[in-house]
Amino acid sequence: MHLRRSLPLLAGALLVPLLAACGGGDETDAKQPTRLTVLAAASLTDVFKQAGAAYEKEHPDTKVTFSFAGSQELAAQVRQGAPADALVTADTKTMDDLRKETNTPSVIAKNRLTIATAKNNPKNVKSLSDLSRDDLKVVLAAPEVPVGRYSKKVLDQQHVAVKPVSQEPSVRAVLSKVSLGEADAGIVYVTDATTAGDKVATTAIPDGQNAVASYPAATLKGSKHADEAAAFVKWLGTDEARKLLRAAGFQQP
């Protein structure tokens, strides 16, 4: 008799976990979107925010988070093992130096330099040679920053000696100094000057004196979402992504 009374209890105990496994759980069992972290050069800040929104619209199962900084800072983060999935730099040298940490890169866009000056160009800066004038406060990016390296290259080729009042960690920092009136002029990318609107004026650098910046993108070998990261990097080479980059002033690779 004792055994027969126990059987219904035992059956009920076995049935509870089965019901729990079969019913409910819609919210907890729903597939969560993959979250990608992309380290990107500071000059890509505005356009990549648009690109990220466009990509998420096409791929609702993926969320893209960007971390923007100077390419040299991003490289340091990669070497330190920062948890990220893809990297986009403003030069090929920085990417090439990270061969052990990245998969094969592809160039997604190009850029050129321009001289940014205070609004309405009150110091009448007309060319690279003017940046050597004693009455100008010129700010440049540090030489380890891609735009700083490009700036040094074009100035050296034109034999223009500049004593910058500061050397900044990113192109956006250079642009900020000029737009805030803390410097009379600085060398930035064409695309960055465009984002400043009427806060700065620009003086074009002729093609023969200019430098071309290439932007390679690559997945990181340490990514925990290799397939999704590869899909995003591949998308950056599509017509839709290139259309956004062109609208922001970038050139085709």
Give the CA distances from residue 196 to residues 115, 175, 176, 205, 249, in Å, rounded to whole numbers and listed in that order: 13, 8, 9, 18, 13
Q: Is residue 103 located within the same domain as residue 172?
A: no
Q: Is residue 148 located within the same domain as residue 179?
A: yes
pLDDT, one tens digit per residue, over 170-192 is 999 999 999 999 999 999 999 99
Burial of 144 (0-12, 13-18, 19+ CB in 10 A): middle
Q: Is residue 37 located within the same domain as residue 54?
A: yes
pLDDT at 18: 45
pLDDT, one tens digit per residue, over 196-226 is 999 999 999 999 999 999 999 999 999 999 9
Total domains, the chain:
2
pLDDT, one tens digit per residue, over 227-242 is 999 999 999 999 999 9
> Is the residue at 43 inside a domain?
yes
**Partners of 111 in the beta sheet?**
213
Q: Is residue 205 located within the same domain as residue 230?
A: no
d(CA 176, CA 45): 14
For residue 137, pLDDT over 60 is answered with yes
pLDDT at 30: 62
> Is the residue at 19 inside a domain?
no
Tell whether the torsion through CA atoms of 203, 206, 210 and 216 is positive or negative. Answer: positive
Q: Is residue 69 located within the same domain as residue 133?
A: no
Q: Is residue 56 located within the same domain as residue 104?
A: yes
d(CA 209, CA 62): 42
Q: Is residue 61 located within the same domain as residue 76?
A: yes
Q: Is residue 158 located within the same domain as residue 229?
A: no
Question: What's the chain's length in residues?
Answer: 253
Q: Is residue 101 located within the same domain as residue 120?
A: no
Q: Is residue 102 located within the same domain as residue 121?
A: no
Q: Is residue 119 located within the same domain as residue 174?
A: yes
Amino acid at 95: M
Looking up residue 198, the CATH number of its domain turns out to be: 3.40.190.10
pTM for the model = 0.85
Q: Is residue 124 located within the same domain as residue 202?
A: yes
Domain that holds residue 136: 111-209
* Residue of 86, 77, 74 whose CA lies nearest to 43: 74
For residue 10, pLDDT over 90 is answered with no
